[in-house]
């Protein structure tokens, strides 16, 4: 069961200490799926864990040593509680949904 989403970003000259800001919207349903847990990895370095019950803006500092200057940056969002809509409501949608990413800033 796939519960991860990955975004590949181009490299930047000196990424250590930079901040990634992500606007996320969790797939939640009152009484059935009250929150989504999201774990954020930067190049496989765990940087943040949050429980979301409403849209949120998360800020992640790019850890020292996680990204070499100029190398691509892999952002991975793991949602252990991702569910298919058909499993929690009247729906034929079989995709596992955790969070949607609507905005990503790096700087």
Q: Which residues contact 30 (CB under 8 A, 6 or more apart)?
A: none
Which residues does residue 37 pair with via DSSP β-bridges, in sequence order?
Answer: 51
Quote the pTM value: 0.89
Q: What is the Cα–Cα distance from 77 to 7, expressed in whole angstroms?
A: 9
Half-sphere exposure of 17 (CA within 13 A, CB side): 2
User: Quick one: pLDDT band at residue 17, thresholds 50, 70, 90?
Assistant: confident
Tens of pLDDT, residue by residue over 64-96, are: 888 888 889 999 999 999 999 999 999 999 999
Asked if residues 105 and 58 have their Cβ atoms less than 8 Å apart, the reply is no
Which residues does residue 4 pair with via DSSP β-bridges, in sequence order?
Answer: 78
């Amino acid at each position: 069961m796939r519960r991860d989403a990955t975004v590949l970003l181009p490299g930047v000259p000196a990424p250590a200490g930079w901040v990634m800001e992500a606007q996320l919207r969790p797939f939640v349903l009152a009484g059935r799926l009250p929150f989504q847990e999201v774990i954020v990895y930067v190049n496989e370095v765990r940087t943040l864990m949050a429980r979301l019950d409403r849209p949120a803006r998360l800020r992640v500092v790019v850890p020292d040593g996680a990204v070499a200057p100029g190398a691509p940056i892999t952002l991975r969002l793991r949602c252990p509680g991702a569910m298919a809509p058909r499993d929690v409501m009247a729906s034929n949608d079989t995709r596992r949904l955790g969070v949607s990413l609507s905005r990503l800033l790096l700087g």
